[in-house]
Amino acid sequence: MGLGILGGGIATTKWFLKRGAEITVTDLRRREELKKSIAVLGNDSKKIKFVLEKHNEEDFKNADFIVVNPAVRILGNKFLEIAAKMKKQIVSDLTLFLKEVKNPIIAVTGTRGKTTTTNWIAHFLKSRFPKACASGNSSDEALLALSERFLKDAKTPAVLELSSFQLEIADRAHQAPGVSVITNIYQDHMNRHDTMKNYVLAKANIFKNQKEGQYLVLNFDNEWTQFFVNQKPKSEIYFFSLRALPKSKYGLYVHGNTIMFRDKKKESVIYKEQILQLLWARGEHNLYNFLAAALASFLSGVSWKEIEKRIITLPDIFLRQEIIIKKKNYTVVNDSAGTSPDAAIAALRRFSREGKIIYITGGTDKQLEFKKLADEIKSTIEPENLFFLNGSATRRLIRELETRHYFRNQKKNTFEDLKDLLTHVRKRVILMSDVIVLFSPGAASFEKFENEFDRGKKFAEYSKQVFK
């Protein structure tokens, strides 16, 4: 259900074809929109029944398995309700992956920081497992395509980034990752989940089927952490925090100028001031990401010493506060993957410590609140240095700024075209010195781009043309 355009549906289709299944692909998109995806299937497409621009009830009644693409909304989906009433098996690429792959699995979810944390776990694991790599929601390689590789390599852990969309029916898998990490929870995807409780319960599925002897890593400083604890996980809980943990809690935390670790056996200093300062330089949010990644890696068998050796080479992550141009008088930062107001606030706080900011924001509304972002913009950005890419979320943010009398009767820099916007930003940069051009939209991108990755690639391409 949902072939899609990002590759996951293609990999799932091929996976079932390889096993001799009779397949119906049903998608609400037009054939023209799915042209590239169908082309990738090649001659295999002749073996498939395609039902496009609609779903037929009979297809769901007659199928043995219904495989749901993560982009398909579960809540209130009448076709899935029909399948459930008829006791059909409703699965996803993730539930199939968890059933198929016997390797150790470390999985990461959360609202912010999950991509960085996932990639940094893979980075630390390479000290023991050279083939370790990040996958899941953060990779170009679909889960079921990846599963084929793990069948030939039983030792390398699978390190997965998982979105709330992927986790929505993960409780049906009856298996769970050996180490599950929840980086934090903030408001996001209300247009999909309707309520915060639905959203958080989807995230909780990452540990729903964990057993004794497995681990759950939680952010002690996040307001939703107690909600997860109240679900009474069977796994052992470890916390990470930027302040000292209560004596009854195990985990990794900052204490003064050191990073400490406590478990059942002892409490000890893991890293001293020099390492801590190196991590602080990446911003508070990245210190959280490090603590989560280091703790998950340690619980997966990597020593603190091995982790320390790889701190200096921690990679910057594609489209996550990624510095794409650095010149004498200006720096250009691509944070296209910052699709929520909280992500944009984190970027603004990091880079406002480093210099004057020209800020580019705006996109598609996900029914999120923009009040805190409006407050941050008012305290950080001059109106003449604020540029909007128009969209439904943009208009909501502008209204919030107007209620704060932010613009002072000044013209709003609002553009329909990203390249045109960047051309005007370049004119502003010429008038300034030591400026940071920050693209952190704080919203989705579907009105003008395929997704945040398409948006980020275009931003990088246009930036290199305009700032040459």
Q: What's the Cα-to-Cα distance from 402 to each of 45, 381, 396, 409, 442, rounded to whole Å?
A: 52, 14, 10, 10, 18
- Tens-digit pLDDT profile for residues 280-308: 988 898 999 999 999 999 999 999 999 99
Q: What is the pTM of this model?
A: 0.82
DSSP character at residue 355: S
Q: Which domains does the chain have, with CATH numbers?
A: 8-91 (3.40.50.720), 94-311 (3.40.1190.10), 322-466 (3.90.190.20)
Greatest mean pLDDT among 9-13, 136-140, 439-443 lies in 439-443
pLDDT of 466 reads: 95
Give mean pLDDT, residues 402-430: 94
- Tens-digit pLDDT profile for residues 28-50: 889 888 888 888 888 888 899 99
Q: Does residue 136 carry a pLDDT above 80?
A: no
**Residue 152 — very low, low, confident or very high, per pLDDT cuts 50/70/90?**
confident
**Residue 380 — very low, low, confident or very high, per pLDDT cuts 50/70/90?**
very high
Give mean pLDDT, residues 243-258: 96
Hey, what are 325's tokens? Answer: 């141009």
Give mean pLDDT, residues 169-184: 93
**Residue 404 — very low, low, confident or very high, per pLDDT cuts 50/70/90?**
very high
Where is average pLDDT lowest: 55-69, 126-140, 303-317? 126-140
Give mean pLDDT, residues 2-6: 77
pLDDT of 148 reads: 79
Q: What's the Cα-to-Cα distance from 441 to each of 178, 365, 438, rounded to whole Å?
A: 34, 11, 9
Q: Sign (positive/negative) of CA torsion 215, 217, 220, 224?
A: negative
pLDDT of 138 reads: 52
Task: Collect all residues with Cβ–Cβ distance below 8 Å to 77 and sequence separation of at least 6.
Answer: none
Spatial distance between the Cα atoms of 377 and 434, rounded to a whole number of angstroms: 19
Question: How are the residues of the chain apportioned to helix, strand and coil, as percentages rounded to the nearest 5?
Answer: 40, 20, 40
**Residue 373 — very low, low, confident or very high, per pLDDT cuts 50/70/90?**
very high
**Residue 124 — very low, low, confident or very high, per pLDDT cuts 50/70/90?**
very high
CB 159 within 8 A of CB 121: yes
Give mean pLDDT, residues 132-136: 85
Where is average pLDDT lowest: 41-45, 90-94, 233-237? 41-45
Q: Does residue 74 carry a pLDDT above 90?
A: no
Which amino acid does the sequence have at 40? Answer: V
pLDDT of 140 reads: 62
Spatial distance between the Cα atoms of 364 and 446, rounded to a whole number of angstroms: 6
Q: Does residue 7 carry a pLDDT above 80?
A: no
Q: Does residue 413 carry a pLDDT above 90?
A: yes
**Residue 153 — very low, low, confident or very high, per pLDDT cuts 50/70/90?**
confident
pLDDT of 417 reads: 95
pLDDT of 147 reads: 83
Average pLDDT of the chain is: 92
